[in-house]
Amino acid sequence: MKKVKRLFSFVKVFKWLLLVIIVLSIFNRFTYSYVPLFSQYLFAFLRDPLRETIYQVNFPRFVSEFLWPNEGITTVIKIVMMLAGFQTVRFTISFFETFLVGKLSEEIQFNLRNQLFNHLQSLEYSYHKKADIGDLIQRVTTDIETIGFFLSERIGEFFTLLATIIFGSLQLYFISPIMLLIILVFLPISAGASIVYFIYVNKSFKIIEENEAKMITVIQENLEAVKVVKAFANEKYEEEKLEKANLEYVSSQKKYNKKRALYWGSSDIFSMLQYSTIIIVAIFFVRNERMSADGLVATLLLIGMIVWPIRGLGWMIGDFAKALVSSDRIYEILEQESEFLENGDLKPPLNQGFTFKNVSFQFKDSNNELLKNVNFEINEGETVAIIGKTGSGKSTLVYLLLRMLEVSSGEILFGEVPIKEIEKHYLRKNIGLVMQEPFLYGKSIYDNIAITNHKITEEKVYQAANVANLSDEIASFKAGYQTMVGERGVMLSGGQKQRIGIARVLIEEKPILIFDDSLSAVDVKTDVEIRKTLKKDHRQTIIIITHRITTAKEADKIIVLENGQVSAIGNHQSLKNQKGLYQDLWEIQGSLEKEFLNLIEGYQDEL
């Protein structure tokens, strides 16, 4: 029952629109129940054009009075005209009903898609880190379409079926109560078969949805990693991986199709048996003058009106099962707590430096601490380099500073204000992060730089590109700043993508800038030029996470991380003479730097 309530909660906002659809559906079937009576009246008139013919047909009084007196061909024309007018009204109602059903479906999908997407935006970073992108895409698209279709189409059809049985049965009762009794005897059997079908297919739909999500993920990962696949000539492996996922999906579909074929085949046989039984009994009644010939005609039409729509209950049951599965998958996301449930409300100035005080961190599902009692202080306007081996916790520090992750113990202070008391959106808007692999949209270079602020002036965009040492390369492109970068920036080199990421952050004056290994794809000369320009033209606090000693050595302060702990803090001069990781890295990279500088000097002398 809880699952059903959750499913129907998606249509609660549009309950009045749904109510109008239900009313139109019921009224439509009510009017349709009179259609067979026109045939009955016509046959009765042709058989016996006397006055009592009027009282043999269950028409409303005004219809009977309109058709009387019976005057040969005139009465036939009246019947045809009234039926045409009657059907015109019905078709008009059907048009509006269909229009409103489509409107309701789109409104439900629009509302639910926005709700789900917005909730996904509010979920914490750790959720997205583990989430399957292909599965999320399927939930935001296919599952929502399934729910929208059921709540708009199938609910109306259910009331249509209910109204058909009720009004058809009333008309049939007026003609022959025994015929109605025979139909009602078969009805529980049809309903019971539909319930059994629902129980079996409900599990099947869940398996199908899961297998489809796996297949979509394989396709999505392959398309995103096409460079890697081709670089390693790994197409065969990818084809086999998709074939396996595809086979699982197709197999689950085949199992469901077998159940569906068995149900529909049995249902058809049962419906024909029901129809045949009623026809035989009806013919017997006519021969024994317990039913008139015109009553037989109306009975057959009403039976078709009642029996065949009952078969549609199977479709409704199947779509109901699909919608329940989709609803569960949607609620799996909606029930995830938003990261903003735990949020501060303070907005202190962030240009005052910050302190990590006994900070430790570990993921909830892990027993290993990524950071252990980390202590350091960064002052306003300082350029600080954080250096360490892969997996030492450098990037984790950044995510803690942005509150994309929360500290397990200890605290981070901006001045005297604990970071947990600072509003998250405000915090992130004032800290500029340039990642190692910045995500570029399939837009122009200009749009990618200005993506965080669409109201930014062109001058600031050009200035940011210049600081990122990108303006000369943009000028060399035929379309300049309007050059399309392709999906995820495939038309650009790694260094160009990183510099667009840098320019994107620089268009707004943020008090803290963080470069998370975001200069790794540019050459050392460009790296030096960017850092010099930043130091000259900007007064922000700058944090540089890097593996390069050449990048770190120019910083005011260097923090060395080893195994999640701070092993040393100092400047280049002090750390290169201090035994430890930094000295080891300097001995390896320092000689290469000297060689590079000698080459640069020789090149400049030649000029």
Same domain, 91 and 203: yes
For the ranges 62-76, 342-356, 372-386, 497-511, which has the lowest average pLDDT?
A: 62-76
Residue 514 tokens, joined: 């963080």
pLDDT at 18 exceeding the cut of 50 = yes
Residue 599 is assigned to a structural domain of this protein: no
Sheet containing strand 431-434, edge to edge, reads: 431-434, 512-516, 541-546, 383-388, 557-562, 565-570
C-beta of residue 531 within 8 angstroms of C-beta of residue 603: no
pLDDT at 320 exceeding the cut of 50 = yes
Which has the closest alpha carbon to 86: 47, 59, 65, 68?
59
**% of the chain exceeding 90 in pLDDT:** 3
Opening angle at CA 536, ends 533 and 540, nearest 5: 95
For residue 140, what is the DSSP state?
A: I
Same domain, 162 and 297: yes
Last residue of a domain, one of 308, 335, 362: 335
Beta bridge partners of 383: 542
The structure tokens 């302060």 sit at: 557
Mean pLDDT for 367-375 is 86
What pLDDT sits at residue 519?
64
Same domain, 331 and 196: yes
Same domain, 326 and 376: no
pLDDT at 537 exceeding the cut of 70 = no
For the chain, the farthest-separated pair of C-alpha atoms sits apart, in whole angstroms, at 122
Residue 265 is assigned to a structural domain of this protein: yes
Do you know the residue count of the chain?
Answer: 607
Residue 344 is assigned to a structural domain of this protein: no
What is residue 378's three-state secondary structure? Answer: strand
- pTM of the complete model: 0.75
Same domain, 285 and 382: no
Instruction: Assign residue 75 the CATH number of its domain.
Output: 1.20.1560.10
Instruction: Assign residue 391 the CATH number of its domain.
Output: 3.40.50.300
Same domain, 165 and 203: yes
C-beta of residue 534 within 8 angstroms of C-beta of residue 361: no
Cβ-in-10-Å burial (0-12, 13-18, 19+) of 475 comes to exposed
pLDDT at 64 exceeding the cut of 70 = no
Residue 603's pLDDT band (cuts 50, 70, 90): very low
What pLDDT sits at residue 52?
56
Same domain, 201 and 90: yes
C-beta of residue 266 within 8 angstroms of C-beta of residue 189: no
For the ranges 110-119, 141-150, 222-231, which has the lowest average pLDDT?
A: 222-231
The structure tokens 């380099």 sit at: 385
What is residue 385's three-state secondary structure? Answer: strand
**% of the chain exceeding 70 in pLDDT:** 85
Which has the closest alpha carbon to 57: 411, 345, 301?
301
Mean pLDDT for 592-596 is 55
Name the average pLDDT for the chain: 80
pLDDT tens column, 391-411? 788 888 888 898 888 888 899
Same domain, 312 and 377: no
pLDDT tens column, 475-521? 888 888 888 877 777 777 777 888 888 888 888 778 888 888 766 65
Same domain, 425 and 327: no
pLDDT at 65 exceeding the cut of 70 = no
Cβ neighbours for 463, distance < 8 A, ≥ 6 positions apart = 506, 507
Q: Which domain holds residue 223?
A: 2-335
Distance, in Å, from the CA atom of 349 to the CA atom of 434, rounded to the nearest integer, reads 21
Same domain, 260 and 398: no
Task: Write out 323-337 in H/E/C secondary structure.
Answer: HHHHHHHHHHHHCCC
Residue 326 is assigned to a structural domain of this protein: yes
Distance, in Å, from the CA atom of 413 to the CA atom of 595, rounded to the nearest integer, reads 42
C-beta of residue 71 within 8 angstroms of C-beta of residue 50: no
What pLDDT sits at residue 536?
61
Residue 597 is assigned to a structural domain of this protein: no
Residue 340 is assigned to a structural domain of this protein: no
Residue 465 is assigned to a structural domain of this protein: yes
Residue 601 is assigned to a structural domain of this protein: no
Mean pLDDT for 123-147 is 84
Same domain, 81 and 207: yes
Which has the closest alpha carbon to 449: 476, 424, 478, 474?
474
Cβ-in-10-Å burial (0-12, 13-18, 19+) of 377 comes to middle
Cβ neighbours for 161, distance < 8 A, ≥ 6 positions apart = 309, 310, 312, 313, 316
Phi and psi angles of residue 435, each rounded to the nearest 5 degrees, phi first: -85, 165
Tell me how many domains the chain contains.
Answer: 2
Higher pLDDT, 419 or 66: 419
Distance, in Å, from the CA atom of 24 to the CA atom of 97, rounded to the nearest integer, reads 6
Same domain, 401 and 262: no
